[in-house]
Chain A
């Protein structure tokens, strides 16, 4: 234990002396988080990037669901229909909550029948000159939104749904009206003319709702979480990016040791390379924690001054810190691996920067995963930054607790273990002589 503390203290001392390196480590993600968030503030809210994934559960199995799906398919939505006999409301809630779909729509049971009856009844009441709502009320179409969905996109989808429902309702009313008119005309004696619409209050008829949208409140952001916005997306995302960028100075430090006589000296000391790696990992985890803290503080206190919403952290602070820790471990493990796998600092910095930026891009740091093409979405699961980001989103945006992110944390820890073990294997082979 003393040796690992010694190795950690040495790394921290070296870091403290490398002011330029430290400045880059902290300044780079800090600048990125401000710039990118400002850039995305409008863009992400206004654009519904790519097709939004919608799951449609038709518990009614009647005409209404089919008509609504046809209406929605005209828009920028990719609709997947679920069989109402095999799935229920709980399934759709879970699928949307987990981020598998951005929107879930449920057509309740017997909606078509009720809708037709309501339309006829409404017309009858109107024709009889009755005012006030004596019907059972509009048929409620349930909708679920992924908490991660951008506010602008969410508003656009809501408007699209309301438009579709209003169109369907109007169509139904006009069909009912047509039926009444035809029946009235047929009942008239020959040669007699009647204005069938004479007693109808058309403005009132149009105003009466037949179909209405009800947003399911089951997993609206709970206390301690806030709705998705670029700040909530970017702060953890760029903090993670900064953390993974520490892989480059770690690799650089290791290559410097290897290229000098230090590595040879360390190899002949009675200490395992794993202890030395552990020392490096611990020192850089401290750096990662500081990075996250800095970015979070910028989000919380600087953003409001530049016209952005303040970053809000969830109530699950220990779980957030655990995510930082696991992400830091994954980043340091990768840095140690790079330091042993690459032959020069130039190679490590090029490979490191390229792989970290690529992993950030496919992991959802730059553009949310749901806004990516399907192939990239599938690819995103191989990025350690995606695992960290997914855990942060679950905690900060979905309001989940530790159990919900254990799989992501497990992946990050496994990544650390695999990269460190590979580095250990390489350490046995590389520079094993003077």
Chain B
């Protein structure tokens, strides 16, 4: 297994996402959310970030998305840091938040048009991009329907489409399949694999171990703000002797409940 420290950016292939010795502590908390946390997601990887509630996953993807800075440590996205290239990073980064980030009263295409224009896409290019993304998530025939009339699975798919509008090089997905039916989940999985095949780096958080095993080329298990284990799922299972990721996860993070 490799440590993130062993591959700093600039050595070999540029890391898509790189974090070195991150420290983050929220106000009024005893324990740091991230404690000397380091991680590398290589270009073209489908990387799974796993951990129990409160492990620090949300903090990691918030920092990688530029939503908040770490208290200390270094963050790089495609070898750029937020302090110097904030806007450039935002243009190459896509995001599908866990909460549906869409306006219910707008139609599917109006939602995408709004977010697309904020990316600076306009005119025919925008129209084409919207059509393309709606087709990608099998919602083209529902383009003119208000989002409020969508099922949860449709909203999740549209949520993903909104995150793909800028054709991101790095896509951050926060539990994109939570609470949806098998058909929608299957479609999202297939399309994410396709995106990854085309070269998009994906950082994926999930609580579903079978999902991580199916999709991710590498995973990282974190707990209490620290990286506990990382590597390809098959390698981790082989080395640990565990029959599946769920057992490995419980073995590494314990069985006690993580109520906040």
Contacts and interface: CB of A to CB of B under 8 A. Distances in A.
A264 B101 contact: yes
Contact of A265 (B68, B105, B122, B162): B162
Q: Which of B59, B61, B95 is packed against the most chain A CB atoms within 10 Å? A: B95
A6 B113 CA distance: 9
B120 interface: yes
B79 to A, nearest CB: 18
B22 to A, nearest CB: 13
A268 B65 contact: yes
A23 interface: no
A228 interface: no
B90 A269 contact: yes
Interface in B95-115: 95, 97-103, 105-106, 110, 114-115
Interface residues of B, number: 35
B197 interface: no
B66 A268 contact: yes
A264 B99 contact: yes
B117 interface: yes
B100 A432 contact: no
A2 to B, nearest CB: 7
Contact of B159 (A13, A261, A266, A268): A261
Contact of A266 (B59, B68, B118): B118
A173 B105 CA distance: 82
A265 B120 CA distance: 15
B127 to A, nearest CB: 14
Contact of A14 (B65, B95, B103, B163): B103
Contacts of B162: 265
B115 A265 contact: yes
A271 interface: yes
A2 B122 contact: yes
Contacts of A432: 62, 67-68
Interface in B53-107: 58-59, 61-62, 65-68, 87, 90-91, 93, 95, 97-103, 105-106
A434 B57 CA distance: 10
A33 to B, nearest CB: 29
A185 to B, nearest CB: 97
A259 B99 CA distance: 8
B45 interface: no
B7 to A, nearest CB: 25
Contact of A262 (B98, B103, B122): B103
A269 B119 contact: yes
Contacts of B117: 2-3, 6
B67 A270 contact: no
A265 B61 CA distance: 13
With most chain A CB atoms within 10 A of its CB, the pick from B62, B106, B110, B114 is B114
A2 B118 CA distance: 8
Contacts of B97: 261, 264-265, 434
B157 to A, nearest CB: 14
The 9 closest A-B pairs by CB, nearest first: A261-B101, A433-B62, A261-B99, A261-B97, A265-B101, A17-B105, A6-B117, A270-B90, A432-B68
16 contacts: A3-B120, A6-B117, A10-B103, A13-B105, A13-B106, A18-B105, A260-B99, A261-B97, A261-B100, A262-B101, A264-B65, A265-B97, A268-B67, A432-B67, A433-B68, A434-B58
Given A13-B106, A261-B97, A267-B67, 19 more contacts: A3-B118, A6-B117, A7-B114, A17-B106, A260-B102, A261-B100, A261-B101, A263-B101, A264-B65, A264-B99, A265-B101, A265-B115, A268-B66, A268-B67, A269-B119, A270-B87, A271-B118, A434-B58, A434-B174
